[in-house]
């Protein structure tokens, strides 16, 4: 298997949000990142959005429990 193109890497990066990638998939994504700044930036953006979403959900849950309107 050769290096995937940008479209295939994008698919793998997005699939990684739903499932764990296999070792071979992780390796080809990392190898592609080394030669493609665009895909590397996309991967960083996806990671940032994942973390922001997790933080928003955890903050939202805290806000719901402390909402004075519930009394």
Whether residue 71 is contained in a domain is answered as: no
| Total domains present in the chain | 1
Q: Is 53 within the bounds of a domain?
A: yes
3-state secondary structure 12-66: HHHHCCCCCCCHHHHHHHHHHHHHCHHHHHHHHHHHHHHHHHHHHHHHHHHHHHC
pTM score: 0.74
Does any domain span residue 1? no
In a domain, 21, yes or no: yes
Does residue 70 form part of some domain?
Answer: no
Tens digits of residue pLDDT in 14-60: 999 999 999 999 999 999 999 999 999 999 999 999 999 989 988 87
Task: Name the residue range of residue 11's domain.
Answer: 6-64
């Amino acid at each position: 298997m050769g290096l995937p193109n940008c479209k295939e890497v994008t698919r793998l990066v997005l699939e990684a949000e739903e499932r764990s990638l296999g070792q071979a998939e992780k390796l080809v994504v990392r190898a592609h990142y080394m030669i493609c700044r665009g895909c590397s930036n996309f991967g960083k953006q996806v990671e940032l959005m994942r973390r922001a979403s997790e933080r928003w959900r955890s903050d939202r849950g805290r806000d719901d429990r402390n909402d004075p309107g519930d009394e």
